[in-house]
Homo-oligomer: A and B are copies of this chain.
Amino acid sequence: NHIIICGYGRNGKQAATKLLAYNKPFVIIEKNKETIEKFQDENTHFVLGNANEDEVLHQAGIERASTLISALPNDADNLFVVLSARQIKKDLRIISRASQETSYEKLKLAGANNVILPDRIGGDHMASLVVVPDLIEFIDNLAIVGETNINIEEISVEKLYDANTTQRTIKDLDLRHKTGCTVIGYKGQNGEYVVNPEAEQKLAPNSKIIVLGRPEQIHKLNTVYKLD
């Protein structure tokens, strides 16, 4: 149930830093021996080799992995890794980097669940500092990294009460009073998403609520409803 990161460049390194902060187990596939010698320590496990080779993916334990992050600098290499990984494991979550916009669809076709274009995200972020500065600052204040520092959680209503026999509204849950958390979103049974739903919003079976809280409030929510 670990995560495999292919490539320990700027992209892969940052992904590893974040996974480490959240205490998620991961293995890095890196073909440069000197990079491995420089960065290997008790927290950072490497497999030496080219992620293009199935044998190397097997060495990294792809059969047991939950997620593969392909963070190679070259789009053709990422495409090859994504296709190989999808061939080996049908239910693997695959996240790939892409440099070129035109690679996006190809990587999706090859089997990537998510494709991240760093330059697009970077350009978007620069403009966001101008057009939605309040949002950016809010997110920055959420992002104090760490596994105990989760601020936003999505919860199935089934975990809060028996949704098949009872019909409730967000107000009925009384989460603010019971846990300190605030409901900031609602996801209906067909995936439709409502930001800042009304207190009178009816909760359908199989729907989800999205809550905001400080870490201690999220912790209380998890304790009160035995969600962990």
Contacts and interface: CB of A to CB of B under 8 A. Distances in A.
Nearest to A217: B196
Given A122-B97, A134-B210, A15 B196 contact: no
A180 B194 CA distance: 13
Interface in A79-96: 93, 95
Copies in the assembly, this chain: 2
A109 interface: no
A116 to B, nearest CB: 5
A95 B125 CA distance: 10
B214 A195 contact: yes
A88 to B, nearest CB: 19
Given A114-B129, A184-B182, A193-B141, A135 B152 contact: yes
Interface in A13-37: 13-19, 22, 24
B14 A120 contact: yes
Contacts of A12: 123
A212 interface: yes
9 contacts: A9-B119, A11-B123, A24-B130, A97-B122, A116-B122, A134-B154, A135-B152, A138-B210, A139-B139
Interface of A: 3, 9-19, 22, 24, 67, 69, 71, 93, 95, 97, 99, 101, 114, 116-135, 137-139, 141-142, 147, 150-154, 176, 180-182, 184-185, 193-196, 198-199, 210, 212-214, 217
